[in-house]
Structure 1
Amino acid sequence: MVRTVYSPEYCLQYLEQYASQEIFVTGLILGQITDARENVIHIARTPEEKGGEAISNDGSFASEKQDPVKNLLGVSEAWVADHAKHVTRMLPGGMFVLGIFITSDEDVFEDPNYFSKVKTILNYTYKVLNTNHLMFANCPHSNERLILHMSTNTKVLTCKSIEVGPSKNVAIKPVEWKFLSKPQQWQRLDCYYEFDEVYPVIVKKSGISVKQQFQQILESSHKTIESSVMFLDGELKDPSEQLEQLIKKKKTKNSSKTAQEVPKSMHVSLFVPFENALPETVEYLECDGSIHFSGIVASSVFMYPKASVGEAIAAVKQDIIRSLASRFTMHCDALIDDNLLPEEKVCFNEPPRRVLVPVGSLYLCDYLFPGEAPAEALLSVRELLDLQITEADVICDIETPADTSEFDALDRDTSSEELLATPQEASQFMYITGIAFAFLVLFVSIFIHYYDSISEFMRKLLTIS
């Protein structure tokens, strides 16, 4: 059975504009794979490579341009992979880089040199995206990647797929690419995950950096979120049921004339089972400090309506962890001092906050540090997604800046001047590092772990009395 991919019609116009000018272009194919259907949401030209510089966190470039690449053999696979890495941060859960597109006068499928280059680009990109599994950068459904080619001579469009990764299968498979004249309908799912955790910091002899500590926190958060149970609109649903069927049932239930219109988005609630929130073991460790994370991570996921509830839940979980991983990476890259705990100080930090940017009939995201205006997101969208949007199109209120009044008051207290370090720039999602918190966390963990034993001992003591 031939693989079929559905794409917005504007993607054809996008390819034709470059092919008609006989311009060589390579870029990324972005989309979603479900058991019901495979949808492409956008194709984005990879920016021209700059003089040895990588794409920065905000999507901008600092160095001068190199000479334009004339054909596929001159493309740097590292540059394409870097583009894919930055674009993945902008994708909601359930969306992935599905392959690459090319406009050229050479036939990339017939010429062995060009096809070998295509395979090198796709395999290198897969390898780079696989280095951070918490970014969920590689699509878990399949290791096959799309190759879409439009000839600048004949304007003929051809799509095929190959398998990447450890597999030695080099078979080229045909793919049927269909353009949709009407906008694709999407089911939106919104979730607000409250993050309020305290993590002890143990500095080993070799030391520990902010990035290393964040990686440990991400691993812990991933385990917690994966163990959680999710409710759609306050109800536990069958994972095999289609989202479309849930909407139809709700419309039937609210079919009376006075009934309000069924909301276009579903609200997802996340519940962590109590037993999964308890530590597996209690270790007596000397803590050097703690990190307190507090805030709400806003998640907006878009699914094909015929996708299953199970696929939607997996996408929401991916989105939360991907968002945390993206913020932590950007925050660490922006830090001047990688020292985890300043001596005898409490540091207030804010990672970047999330904003939404429109792409077709759905939204992708970007991240803004405190003090950055929505115009900063326009730069990322233009460079990374090759889209022109206005500042008014950026939705900035899904996450609000952090309330720093408590720390501002502490800063004004002359007796506490030495306790508070200068705040780093960023958002509503914040973390605080300090010395005192860790001992409280350790005490509470020990009490919870031995609570049952203490209770049983007290009952026996009362019985004897």
Structure 2
Amino acid sequence: REEQNESNKNYHPTSADVDEEWVTAHASQLSRMLPGGLLVLGVFIIAAPELAKDIQNALRKLVFSVEKSVVKKRLWKFTEEEVSDRVALHVCSATKKILCRTYDIQDPKSSPKPADWKYQSGLSAFWLSLECTINVNIHIPLSATSASYELEKNTRNGLTRWAKQIEEGVFLINGQAKEDDAELLEGQKKSSRGNIQHFNVKVLTQLSQSSGHRSTATVQVCSGSINLKGAVKCRAYIHNNKPKIKDAIQALKRDIINTLSDRCEILFEDLLINEAPDKKNSEREYHALPHRVFASIAGSNVMLCDYKFGDETAGEIQESFFEMLDQVVHGEAIHIAEEINTGKYTFLLGVLFGVFISLF
């Protein structure tokens, strides 16, 4: 036993000990918890100084792997104006010294660039919050010529078309439509320290294309459909340093698209694990998408989110937050964004195979 203890003392982890699969999975799960305006910006490793060279190679690999994992199922794209640098942070376990470097994730051959790492207190104290409720009613036809019903793939295709509608929608902030380059805080009173200023947003989407756009109609033989219907609570945060209307709306658009896409992905993951064999050939299926749950995090005015199915308890939600964030979230700090709808829905007649998915 003494020999074993001595061996453990002399053991130092190497870059080979880094579990890339776990890191990327963790980053993807964390990304789901972030409201609009927040992104996973990088990775960090705490390691001994003699591993500095190996760790930098591992960090570089992780930065690109994490970004690839996070954006893989994203239904929106970054603009050309946005910063594409991601952070790699090495914290020395002996000296606590921090080495910070950035990589341009748009360039696979990107070289590391040195960067300063500074701590700031109360960073989110004056951030601004935008909130809205989106009523969703998405109909996704399933082609009769398809060899098999790939529900996840078909749902994603339908969500991609819906996401385009959201991108092209009109956003009214506190009931007003403003120019993109106007300042969000123009004409607003300053909020007191520690209180986030909230903006209520209403989203208007076009029912059909205007006469100025040419479109083509497609006749498709269908043997079923997927319907997504319900109300979605969305939230985004933005800094208070002269924020532009376009930046605030962009953050909220991304939250709207992310939360619906994430819920569908979570549902399909759950079905893959728990689906009963006798339900595979049923003509109609009803599934409730998980509810969105917001929670206050210690030391921040920003609320992060998670998702719960109807049968999950408050204790399980708290456990999930603790597992992801290593922070205790008390029951009173948890807010369920949507209430359960007990109403019944009517299916379209003539559907041979239908999946009705409720957001409530």
TM range (shorter): 0.7 to 0.9
The aligned counterpart of 1:235 is: 176
Per the TM alignment, residue 141 of structure 1 is displaced from its structure 2 partner at its CA by 2.2
Letter in 2 for 1:376: E
Question: Are 1:161 and 1:173, in contact at CA under 8 Å, matched by a contact in 2?
Answer: yes
Candidates 287, 290, 293, aligned match of 2:225: 290
Candidates 45, 65, 71, aligned match of 1:102: 45
The structure that has the greater radius of gyration is 1
Per the TM alignment, residue 373 of structure 1 is displaced from its structure 2 partner at its CA by 1.9
Per the TM alignment, residue 240 of structure 1 is displaced from its structure 2 partner at its CA by 1.9
Candidates 256, 265, 277, aligned match of 1:320: 256
The aligned counterpart of 2:296 is: 358
Give the 3 Å change call, closer, same or farther, for CA 75–143 of structure 1 in structure 2. Answer: same
The aligned counterpart of 2:90 is: 149
Letter in 1 for 2:48: D
Between 1:274-283 and 1:366-375, the stretch displaced more is: 274-283
Letter in 1 for 2:32: R
Instruction: Find the residue that maps to 1:301 and give its secondary structure.
Output: strand
Question: Residue 404 in 1 paired to residue 343 in 2?
Answer: yes
Partners of 1:176 and 1:205 in 2: CA distance: 52
Give the 3 Å change call, closer, same or farther, for CA 183–209 of structure 1 in structure 2. Answer: closer
Partners of 2:250 and 2:127 in 1: CA distance: 16
Partners of 1:357 and 1:273 in 2: CA distance: 33
Give the 3 Å change call, closer, same or farther, for CA 226–154 of structure 1 in structure 2. Answer: same
Per the TM alignment, residue 301 of structure 1 is displaced from its structure 2 partner at its CA by 1.1
Instruction: Find the residue that maps to 2:110 and give its secondary structure.
Output: coil
Per the TM alignment, residue 402 of structure 1 is displaced from its structure 2 partner at its CA by 2.1
Partners of 1:246 and 1:338 in 2: CA distance: 59
Letter in 2 for 1:247: Q
Partners of 1:340 and 1:97 in 2: CA distance: 38
Partners of 2:179 and 2:36 in 1: CA distance: 20
Question: Are 1:101 and 1:148, in contact at CA under 8 Å, matched by a contact in 2?
Answer: yes
Per the TM alignment, residue 243 of structure 1 is displaced from its structure 2 partner at its CA by 2.5
Letter in 1 for 2:343: T
The aligned counterpart of 1:30 is: none
Candidates 13, 18, 25, aligned match of 1:70: 13
Question: Are 2:98 and 2:117, in contact at CA under 8 Å, matched by a contact in 1?
Answer: no
Partners of 1:137 and 1:372 in 2: CA distance: 35
Q: Unaligned 5+ residue runs, structure 1?
A: 1-67, 252-261, 411-418, 431-465
Letter in 2 for 1:366: D
Per the TM alignment, residue 180 of structure 1 is displaced from its structure 2 partner at its CA by 2.0
The aligned counterpart of 1:271 is: 204
Between 1:385-394 and 1:99-108, the stretch displaced more is: 99-108
The aligned counterpart of 1:117 is: 58
> What percentage of residue pairs aligned between the two structures are identical?
22
Alignment deviations for residues 305-330 of structure 1 (CA, whole Å, 9 cap, x no partner): 22221111011110011111111111
Q: What is the TM-score of this pair, normalised by structure 2?
A: 0.82
Question: Residue 310 in 1 paired to residue 253 in 2?
Answer: no
Letter in 2 for 1:353: H
Per the TM alignment, residue 220 of structure 1 is displaced from its structure 2 partner at its CA by 1.2
Alignment deviations for residues 410-429 of structure 1 (CA, whole Å, 9 cap, x no partner): 9xxxxxxxx9x9x99x9x61
Give the 3 Å change call, closer, same or farther, for CA 319–136 of structure 1 in structure 2. Answer: farther
Matches within 5 A, 1:365-380: 365-380=305-320
Moved over 4 A (4+): 135-140, 337-343
Per the TM alignment, residue 219 of structure 1 is displaced from its structure 2 partner at its CA by 0.8
Q: What is the TM-score of this pair, normalised by structure 1?
A: 0.64
Partners of 2:142 and 2:245 in 1: CA distance: 38
Per the TM alignment, residue 102 of structure 1 is displaced from its structure 2 partner at its CA by 2.4
The aligned counterpart of 1:450 is: none
Give the 3 Å change call, closer, same or farther, for CA 305–107 of structure 1 in structure 2. Answer: farther
Give the 3 Å change call, closer, same or farther, for CA 310–153 of structure 1 in structure 2. Answer: same
Give the 3 Å change call, closer, same or farther, for CA 401–151 of structure 1 in structure 2. Answer: same
Question: Are 1:224 and 1:272, in contact at CA under 8 Å, matched by a contact in 2?
Answer: yes
Matches within 5 A, 1:81-96: 81-96=24-39
Partners of 2:340 and 2:77 in 1: CA distance: 27
Q: Unaligned 5+ residue runs, structure 2?
A: 1-10
Count residues in correspondence: 336
Partners of 2:219 and 2:203 in 1: CA distance: 31
Question: Are 1:191 and 1:269, in contact at CA under 8 Å, matched by a contact in 2?
Answer: yes
The aligned counterpart of 2:328 is: 388
Give the 3 Å change call, closer, same or farther, for CA 198–341 of structure 1 in structure 2. Answer: farther
Between 1:315-324 and 1:156-165, the stretch displaced more is: 156-165
Partners of 2:78 and 2:28 in 1: CA distance: 8
Question: Are 1:353 and 1:369, in contact at CA under 8 Å, matched by a contact in 2?
Answer: yes
Alignment deviations for residues 157-210 of structure 1 (CA, whole Å, 9 cap, x no partner): 332222234342314222242322575321111110100233322232422221
Alignment deviations for residues 366-412 of structure 1 (CA, whole Å, 9 cap, x no partner): 0010121222221221111111111221101x2111223568xx9xx
Letter in 2 for 1:289: G
Instruction: Find the residue that maps to 1:92 and give its secondary structure.
Output: coil
Partners of 1:313 and 1:406 in 2: CA distance: 32
Instruction: Find the residue that maps to 2:147 and give its secondary structure.
Output: coil
Candidates 209, 215, 226, aligned match of 1:280: 215
The aligned counterpart of 2:127 is: 186
Candidates 82, 86, 109, aligned match of 1:168: 109
